[in-house]
Amino acid sequence: MTEIKILKIGGSVLTDKNRLESARMDEIERIAAEIAKYGSGLILVHGAGSFGHIHAERYNLAERFSAEGVLETHRSVVRLNDLVVESLRMAGSSPVPVHPLSCTLLRDGRIEAMETEPVIEMVNRGIVPVLHGDVAMDRSRGAGIVSGDQLVSHLARSLKPEIVALGTAVDGVIFRGEVLAEVRREDLPKISSELGASAGVDVTGGMRGKLGELLDLADEGVGSLVFNAEKAGIIERVLGGERAGTFVGGKI
């Protein structure tokens, strides 16, 4: 089986989080070019930014089931997914969209089941599966939001990739103005008061939510990197195994 690397690019990098469905095409194209240069073995997950959070909030999906809210939120993130997939294709990569709504089931907001076999087959055939934060059916609540971060942590738990990297619009986990080189679970009480929510509308918890996912993953022995994907060239370096930003450490 091909060595797998999982890369997530946050919605704040790909979109203007404060303006409804406003894609940052220059960033999407730059990132697509960097990924295309990189080659095979990659699973890409992207966030929703202003393509999902605003709809999810408008329909109050976290509190109340709404079939229309499910459709509108999903359609919105699919529009962003289309832009990402198309930019990757134009850059010379071989992407295909994978929509979590169709292959993931939640219970109480957490992934209970996800069909990952097709994703593995895609990777083995040199395809880059492109997943995204999405709305998904939830056995207990009707519907819920599955963040890209939760997808990353779920996929990483079952696929044990070589590299797990999360590109954000900040330099890493920041504490008292400094980027932390490494975070482990025991550091959380000290730093948690400073972990910000995301700029703009965010229904999945900003840096605090992200770190929660990554520390759970770390507890199972899979470390990950939180880095600044707005810096040109960094994606290639991170996928090449370089440490940048903050390493969220696994139990060794």
Binding site for ligand IPE (CB under 6 A): 10-11, 47-49, 52-53, 56, 73, 77, 133-135, 145, 147-149, 202-204
Q: Which is nearer to ligand IPE, 136 or 244 (CB)?
A: 136
DSSP 245: S
Q: Is 60 left (phi over 0), alpha (psi -120 to 50) or beta?
A: left
Alpha helix segments (H runs only) across the chain? 11-14, 25-38, 53-58, 67-90, 117-124, 148-159, 188-191, 206-219, 234-239
Q: Which is nearer to ligand IPE, 67 or 181 (CB)?
A: 67
User: In whole angstroms, how close is the CB of 48 to ligand IPE at the nearest point?
Assistant: 4
Query: What does the alpha-carbon distance between residue 82 and residue 100 come to, in Å, rounded to a whole number?
Result: 14
User: In whole angstroms, how close is the CB of 227 to ligand IPE at the nearest point?
Assistant: 14
Query: What does the alpha-carbon distance between residue 23 and residue 12 come to, in Å, rounded to a whole number?
Result: 10
Query: Within 10 A of 122 (CB to CB), how many other CB atoms are there?
Result: 18
Buried b (16+ CB within 10 A) or exposed e, 66-105: beebbebbbebbbebbebbbebbeebebebeebbbbebbe
User: In whole angstroms, how close is the CB of 202 to ligand IPE at the nearest point?
Assistant: 5
Q: Which is nearer to ligand IPE, 75 or 139 (CB)?
A: 75
Q: Which is nearer to ligand IPE, 52 or 161 (CB)?
A: 52
Q: Which is nearer to ligand IPE, 183 or 229 (CB)?
A: 229
Contact in structure between 145 and 62 (CB atoms under 8 Å): yes
Contact in structure between 183 and 247 (CB atoms under 8 Å): yes
User: In whole angstroms, how close is the CB of 127 to ligand IPE at the nearest point?
Assistant: 21
User: In whole angstroms, how close is the CB of 251 to ligand IPE at the nearest point?
Assistant: 25
Q: Which is nearer to ligand IPE, 27 or 202 (CB)?
A: 202
User: In whole angstroms, how close is the CB of 157 to ligand IPE at the nearest point?
Assistant: 17
